A and B are shown apart, each in its own frame.
Chain A
């Protein structure tokens, strides 16, 4: 996927993947996509929840081989 920024949050436990996601998105522009790769099952709830409260869109979640891949489109109004 062209223009996608990738954040490796594997082997990190919540809330650290959420914090890393938050910090990375703060430096991104509206419309850009962030792909977060995590292994903590808690991210299935926490990353979409964080995106909802900040208005970012989770456009996809793929799970393969114990990894969870989130695709997040950055919203217009930054946190």
Chain B
């Protein structure tokens, strides 16, 4: 009797990875899921921060998919090694700062290394890729690149588009029946939705895309701004978290302001008070504002006027703003709030 074969499935939480794992499980393969935390995941963070979203917390789609499939899910923090992918992608960026092809190669490689390093003895790797679905990473020409450069070679099976590709090891060895795999291609989601219906899945995350902040134009612009003003393409996890929230205004090259937009963001920014000089309106309700960079006394006046602009005192002649430095020293400034037209559009990052 042949041993039961084992596969590790990359689970993003979207429909395609759900279906890819299910297709292989239907053939009697033992499947476990793996999900990677890069620091740029859209899920979770922003919903946990913003007050309006806290009232209806969003589920973790990867965990939800694992529950639907009845498989284990291993969530791996790759935020540190992932920096190299973001900073220096060998295959370049997509439309924004999204290094999709390098990202996929890296994740497949991580899955391979994780599986074997832990002696879990997985026989192959599954992804939910579909040829032609993504302009950068999911093209017929890039599929072999991912398999080759990740080191997975022909142990990488894409069940949803396998019929458009050369047979992989699991197919040639008869571990999976190629005739029961699929030949999906293109951006049309109808075949996936029909397959989902056939499996009885009627509740799943919205079609792929939008799960990574690096595909977002506004976020990418803020990251470019961070790099260019620091003079180095480096970042820490706190940096990329802060880019996800608040208004970012850069009135001077030496510093920018991060202005909380609502109570939840203000509460989150509170956690950074000891690291940054920060401002808070004392005479009116208003936002918590962090100063990222070096600000002179004149700059503090400017920052206070911006902070006041977004407070309840925006229409008043004067607003009192308390400034607290990381040393603990405080000072109070009386400022006239900027009128909206006095804040140049180019200050907004």
B71 and A46 contact, CB distance less than 8 A: no
Number of A residues near B (Cβ < 8 Å) is 20
Name the B residues within 8 Å of A50 (CB-CB).
63, 73, 75
How long is the Cα–Cα vector from A41 to B47 in the complex, in angstroms?
Answer: 9
Whether the Cβ atoms of A14 and B45 lie closer than 8 Å is: yes
CA distance A54 to B67 in the complex (A): 10
- For chain B, residues 18 to 50, give those with C-beta under 8 angstroms from any C-beta of chain A: 35, 37, 41, 43-45, 47-49
Contact, CB under 8 Å: A42 / B44: yes
Interface residues of B in 34-86 (CB under 8 A from A): 35, 37, 41, 43-45, 47-49, 54, 57-60, 63-64, 66-67, 70-77
A15 close to chain B: CB less than 8 A: yes
User: Does B174 touch A at the CB level, under 8 Å?
Assistant: no
Which residue among A40, A45, A53, A54 has the maximum number of chain B CB atoms within 10 Å of its CB? Answer: A53
Q: Are A13 and B44 in contact (CB under 8 A)?
A: yes
Count of A-B residue pairs with CB < 8 Å:
68
Asked if A79 contacts B48 (CB within 8 A), the reply is no
Distance in Å: Cβ of A21 to nearest Cβ of chain B: 10
Choose one: A15, A16, A49; the contact of B64 (CB below 8 Å): A49
Interface of chain A, main secondary structure: helix
Contact of A54 among B45, B48, B54, B72 (CB under 8 A): B72
Q: Which residues of chain B come closer than 8 Å to A53, judged between CB atoms?
A: 63, 66-67, 70-73
B120 → A minimal CB distance (Å):
10
Looking across the interface, which residue of chain B has its beta carbon closest to that of A22? B75
* Interface 1/0 per residue, B207-221 and A, CB below 8 Å: 000000000000000
- Checking B44, B49, B54, B74 against A22 with a beta-carbon cut-off of 8 angstroms, the contacting residue is B74
Size bracket, chain B contacts: 20 to 34
CA distance A18 to B74 in the complex (A): 10
Task: State in angstroms the CA–CA spacing of A4 and B201 once bound together.
Answer: 39
Which residues from chain A contact B75 at a C-beta distance below 8 Å?
Answer: 15, 18-19, 22, 50
How far apart are B159's CB and chain A's nearest CB, in angstroms? Answer: 21
**B63–A13 contact, CB under 8 A?**
no
Nearest A residue to B79 via CB reads A16
- Flag if B48 contacts A42 (CB, 8 Å): yes
A20 vs B338: C-alpha distance when bound (angstroms): 44
Binding site for B on A (CB under 8 A): 11, 13-16, 18-19, 22, 40-42, 44-46, 49-50, 52-54, 79
B residues with a Cβ closer than 8 A to A are 35, 37, 41, 43-45, 47-49, 54, 57-60, 63-64, 66-67, 70-77, 241, 271
